[in-house]
Copies of this chain bind each other. A is one copy, B any other.
Amino acid sequence: MVEEKSLHMTPDEFRRYGRAVVDWIADYYEKIETLPVLSQVKPGQIRALLPPKPPLNGEPFEIILDDMKRVVLPGITHWQSPNFFAFFPANASGPSILGDLLSSGLGVQGMLWSTSPACTELETHVLDWTVDMMGLPEKFKSTSTGGGVIQDSASSASLCALLAARERATKFASNEKGCDGRLVAYSSTQTHSSVEKAVKIAGLGRQNLRLIDVDEKFALRPDLLVEAIRKDREAGLIPCYVCATVGTTSSNAIDPLPEIGKTCRREGIWLHVDGAMLGTAAVCPEFRHLLDGIEFSDSYCFNPHKWMFTNFDCDCFFVADRAALIHTLSILPEYLRNQATESGAVIDYRDWHIPLGRRFRSLKLWFVIRHYGVEGLKALVRRHVEWAQKFARWVQEDNRFELAVPPPMNLVCFRHVGGDEVNQKIMDWLNQSGKIYLTHTRLKDRLTLRLCVGQTQTEERHVIQAWDLIRQAAQEIAGA
């Protein structure tokens, strides 16, 4: 029995190995700038380093930790590198990592209020803080008719919003009887692919998703939305959901929320606003105009795990009418019944998203907001926007390059004037150099490079170096 007991790590061993892991991470951040940003391994190369069968007997922790360097690091694309400008950022920070570590240590399940009241109440409270901090409508607060919840991702938030919209539009029949092919959803051609995925998952069908065309700045055209809704109503269909975006993935385009919102109000359609990356900007009052019209929305999300220094997963999802969401996703089997739930005085977050189990995710967000303070977050966001805007000016001033669209905030879409092939080669040259990582999109059917400034470790010098490298790549590839 004594021997078997010793299978577990003792608290003293946990202290020792825990320090080793903390040091490993600190060392990693100290050297991260010197590592090739994009992993250069070939498919199968990492697996080939792993034994075909799991070990029969336990291995010493030192050996396991050593394999982080030998096996794992070569296959890592360094999202936390200051030279990571690809996709949207996923910026982590010290306070977030340590808040999350405490969540792992406590190991509680927050599915019900009663299964750890602090897990629920801290989440509700911090999301109410966030409403104030970002200047969001009061209706998104738990003290009003709505409330916030942490979801794993904006994809899941879009899906939950769609489900609530579906239920509201069918007067609660879609959960009961299923879909009948008449419900219609709307977004723009630039909306994140997760909305198409949600429309499929929720049983509406891709054919019932209208991808509304966009204007010169890649923002949804509200006149075409009105027209599409009218046509669908005439055809006997039931418009139920519009997803508008503040900061599309392709180009950071901002859909006109006031016009879209008024249409949704008039038509009784659920408006979900996806501010996954750009939503963080609203911590700065001078950028809140991006969210003008948010007061018309039924739900909204943004991801602190993208630009607000909180490691994945942390999507803040707000609804104006929590009853609609809860009604849609609520299930109460006997084995989950308890007095607190029956009293109606508490929130059971199980009814606010798809999974039942849930981690204590608000700890990391609480730690981030307290470590930086609201003023600290503002200062950091402003720097990122300032550097991205500087970069955009350098692009404009260099006649080999052009902006694909005026960059509203921290994402710059640009291209070499030499055409798609040159741009592809420039991107490949840059990414293979290991010194920088950026990705592309297509805008007006032209290959366009994207540079997004938002990593925790990024300083102005990294943006300057990025521009130097891009010019060097142009010289190598296009000879000018």
Contacts and interface: CB of A to CB of B under 8 A. Distances in A.
Contacts of A78: 108
The contact size tier of chain A is 35 or more
Contacts of A96: 104
A29 B7 contact: no
Contacts of A8: 93-94, 456-457
A417 interface: no
A289 interface: no
B61 A201 contact: no
A75 B359 CA distance: 15
A181 interface: yes
Of the candidates A1, A78, A105, A130, the one having the most CB atoms from chain B within 10 angstroms of its own CB is A105
Interface string A368-393: 01111111100110010000000000
A398 interface: no
Interface string A201-221: 111111110000000000000
A461 B254 CA distance: 61
A132 B54 contact: yes
Interface stretch (A45-53, A224-232, A316-324, A462-470): A45-53
Contact of A44 (B19, B121, B305, B331): B121
A394 interface: no
A150 interface: no
Contact of A26 (B18, B54, B367, B375): B18
Given A21-B102, A105-B97, A374 B329 contact: no
Contacts of A73: 118
A285 to B, nearest CB: 13
Report the copy number of this chain in the oligomer: 2
Contact of A376 (B45, B58, B126, B202): B58
Given A9-B95, A17-B98, A116 B79 contact: yes
Contacts of A203: 166, 174, 178-179, 202-204
A456 to B, nearest CB: 6
Interface stretch (A239-247, A259-267, A293-301, A333-341): A333-341
Given A115-B77, A357-B305, A26 B5 contact: no
A211 to B, nearest CB: 12
Interface string A61-102: 101100010011111111110000001001111111110111
Interface string A286-308: 00000000000000000001000
A152 B27 CA distance: 30
A171 interface: no
A441 B132 CA distance: 41
Interface string A104-120: 11111100011111110
A473 to B, nearest CB: 18
A59 interface: yes
17 contacts: A9-B371, A18-B98, A21-B102, A24-B102, A41-B117, A56-B373, A56-B375, A58-B372, A76-B119, A90-B107, A100-B101, A152-B152, A175-B200, A177-B205, A180-B180, A192-B333, A203-B203
Given A59-B370, A72-B122, A335-B450, 16 more contacts: A5-B459, A15-B22, A17-B94, A18-B22, A18-B98, A61-B98, A64-B367, A68-B102, A76-B119, A77-B108, A90-B357, A166-B203, A175-B200, A175-B205, A176-B205, A178-B181
